[in-house]
Structure 1
Amino acid sequence: MKPWLNALKDLVIRMLARAFYDFIRDHWKDWF
């Protein structure tokens, strides 16, 4: 696997994790 491809995959995972965290943080009070 190419190093830049691995770095890109890591970046995408970080972005998704951040977006998911922000979404949960903003909406958990509505659910619980």
Structure 2
Amino acid sequence: MKKDSYPDYAVGEVSNVGMMEELKKMRSLF
């Protein structure tokens, strides 16, 4: 991993739960 991607990784880790919720919603549509 690049050092530049660390900040994004930290933010992504926090919003990981939100992403999972969105994935569940999208899956329920199909």
Q: TM-score, normalised by structure 1?
A: 0.47
Structure number with greater Rg is 1
Q: TM-score, normalised by structure 2?
A: 0.50
